[in-house]
């Protein structure tokens, strides 16, 4: 089976390395932002945490984007104190938001410092005013998780717009994540997957394992060669 046959994928694009992947996805985000602003007056995007998107965010800040009309949300967050270096919003701020002219009122952090349940309820209320999102940017873990939706975790099966996550298999155990329904409702979904450590999960998805990342429908998958199963 070829990687082009990845279940649920709208498109699968293989890049030489992480740098090429990051540049291509940054250009794609800028394109989608321009389209959304022209069509609806604003671009509502949920960004991903983790290490793979960092280079993309650094490249994104070099592109011509009307940041006054961009609203940034987060696909998930770790329940850590506000400002903690391990929070996703800290990484996104350091790599992107501190370097562009986006109004602070356009940045919508998940209040995960309040605890998973309260934060999930508050963020669901916020998203209810703007759904669907124009774009969600996603990564995939070596176990096939995406956002903070892990295999066999009850949060992954929840129909809620935003879900509290407990007993995550990697620290911190308590998190907040957009639910599968919210992720799938977005107008566009883009995965960034890089590194040989991700190859096994992609193999499993190719062979029909219903891992959380495989449950995102009609997504663009951007892979580097290291992550791509050999066929």
Q: Where are the domains of the chain?
A: 3-224
| Rounded Cα distance, 37 and 27, in Å | 15
pLDDT given for residue 54 in this prediction: 96
Q: Which fold has domain 3-224?
A: Rossmann fold (3.40.50)
Cα dihedral 209, 175, 86, 107, rounded to 10, equals 100
Cis peptide before 172 (omega within 30 of 0): yes
What are the Cα distances from residue 27, in Å, to 14, 19, 65, 92, 202? 15, 12, 10, 17, 24
pLDDT tens, position by position, 28-59:
999 999 999 999 999 999 999 989 999 999 99
Q: Does the pLDDT of residue 216 top 80, yes or no?
A: yes
CA dist., res. 157 & res. 151, Å (int)? 10
pLDDT value of position 1: 52
The lowest-confidence range among 68-77, 169-178, 222-231 is: 222-231
Q: Which of 2-16, 108-122, 196-210 has the lowest mean pLDDT?
A: 2-16
């Amino acid at each position: 089976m070829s990687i082009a046959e990845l279940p649920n994928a709208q498109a699968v694009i293989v890049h030489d390395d992480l740098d090429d992947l990051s540049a291509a996805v940054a250009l794609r985000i800028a394109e989608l932002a321009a389209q959304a602003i022209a069509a609806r007056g604003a671009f509502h995007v949920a960004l991903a945490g983790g290490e793979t998107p960092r280079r993309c965010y650094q490249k994104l800040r070099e592109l011509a984007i009307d940041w006054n009309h961009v609203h940034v949300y987060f696909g998930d967050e770790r329940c850590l104190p506000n400002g903690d270096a391990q929070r996703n919003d800290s990484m996104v701020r350091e790599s992107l938001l501190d370097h562009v002219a986006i109004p602070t009122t356009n940045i919508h952090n998940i209040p995960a410092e309040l605890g998973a349940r309260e934060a999930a309820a508050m963020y669901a209320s916020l998203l209810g005013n703007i759904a669907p999102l124009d774009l969600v940017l996603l990564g995939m873990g070596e176990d096939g998780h995406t956002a903070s939706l892990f295999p066999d975790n009850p949060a992954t099966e929840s129909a809620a717009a935003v879900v509290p996550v407990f007993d995550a298999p990697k620290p911190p155990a308590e998190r907040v994540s957009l639910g599968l329904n919210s992720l799938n409702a977005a107008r566009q979904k883009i995965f960034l997957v890089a590194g040989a450590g991700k190859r096994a999960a992609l193999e499993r998805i190719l062979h029909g394992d219903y891992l959380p990342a495989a449950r995102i429908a009609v997504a663009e998958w951007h892979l580097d060669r290291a992550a791509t199963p050999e066929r």
